[in-house]
Amino acid sequence: MVLTQPNLAMPSHNSDDSLSDSELIQTFVEGFVQGRPVLLSNANLRTEPLFDSMQLIDNKEGVISTANLSQAPISAKIRPVSAYWGVLHDAMMEQSFYPLAKSDMSDCYIYRYCAPSNDYEMHCTTARELWRVCWGRGYSVRSGIPLDLMIWGHGPTSHREKWHALRNMECENGQLAIKILGGTIRVDGEDLVVWARKNASTRLSSVNRQDRDGQSPLRSGMRGYLRLNN
- The residue among 34, 31, 25, 40 whose CA lies nearest residue 6 is 34
| Total residue length of the chain | 230
Q: What is the pLDDT of residue 115?
A: 81
Residue 175 and residue 119: Cα distance in Å, rounded? 30
pTM (predicted TM-score): 0.77
CB contact set of 203 (below 8 Å; sequence gap of 6+): 118
Max alpha carbon distance in the chain (Å)? 58
3 state DSSP class of 166: strand
**Is pLDDT above 90 for 56?**
yes
> What pairing do the DSSP bridges indicate for beta strands 62-68 and 45-50?
unpaired
Which range has the worst mean pLDDT, 38-52, 91-105, 158-172, 196-210? 196-210
Query: 182 exposed, middle or buried (CB, 10 Å; 0-12, 13-18, 19+)?
Result: exposed
pLDDT tens digits, residue range 62-121? 999 999 988 888 999 999 999 999 999 999 999 999 999 888 777 899 999 988 777 889
Q: What is the pLDDT of residue 91?
A: 96
